[in-house]
Amino acid sequence: MNNFKGGTAVITGAASGFGLEVSRIAAGLGMNVVMADVQQEALTKAAAEISALGVQVLPYRLDISKAAEVEALGAATFAKFGAPNFVFNNAGVGGGGLIWESSLKDWDWVLGVNLMGVVHGVRVFTPMMLEAAKKDPSWRGHITNTASMAGLVAAPNMGVYTVSKHAVVALSETLYQDLSLVTDQVHASVLCPYFVPTGIADSARNRPAELSDNAPMTKSQLIGRAMASKAVTSGKVTATTIAESVFEAIRNETFYIYSHPQALAGVQVRLDDVLHGRNPSDPFVARPEKGEELRKALREA
């Protein structure tokens, strides 16, 4: 897919981070931009910015975890622009702590946004893209799902998030294979960023009241949040660079999109463990002082 001008992009999590940067590039390429986000104020501001670039914008406030709301987004998109050429299932939230300390509401919230949000996007938009492809042999489409490097390794003390992102990688790989069975006109990719400065470390601000826990955060959850915030805010690769890599992958039909190729060493270790039937390797082997620091903090009374 190389011709973007006049096409339509649907972007979730569009008011900030990767979503906003992808919206800017899509607009620069002459695409109509459907911007979906749960944050109304931020969405209004972002939509105004993208509209000022001279393209048509459809801002849409929704909770991506709600099937009916994503279905309504699909209907609104189709009514205004027809089938989208690019769908970026990107909205996501963080979550950490020892895996048994995640409450049912933690699981419902993180899986609802990170996994079911992608499921809903794929379920709603893929059929209309395939239908458009059937009607026009020259029509092209692409779906990119945001996962994480946490979807390729199993880092400790961030279980609920890791589970959600592993599921997104598996979903995306299956989507890629399934699309190849039925069409040559619609493709898929998965974005697996490492630590990039975005607002995900502060995603709890958008947690719905009905999925909030009254209990205080556990020690492991507080440690996990602090570690994630430090890692994300200190990242040197920008969201702009990531957005550019998304469009490069679309042009080249590249499936795996990485922000930090050097982090793949950890993925190789995990795959070797699986292939050779080894117990999971110590994730802190390269920085043992960090592992010792975490173990000490968690074991202190």
Q: Please give the positions annotated as active site.
A: 161
Where does residue 278 fall: left (phi above 0), alpha (psi -120 to 50 degrees), or beta otherwise? beta
Return the beta strands (E) in the chain as ranges: 8-12, 32-37, 57-61, 86-89, 141-146, 186-192, 256-258
Alpha-carbon distance values, 17 to 139, 162, 200, 223, 232 (Å) = 29, 20, 8, 24, 12
The structure tokens listed for 37 are: 């986000």
The structure tokens listed for 235 are: 């990242």
Can you tell me the distance from the alpha carbon of 71 to that of 36, in angstroms, rounded to the nearest whole number? 12
Q: What are phi and psi of 251, to 5 degrees?
A: -60, -40
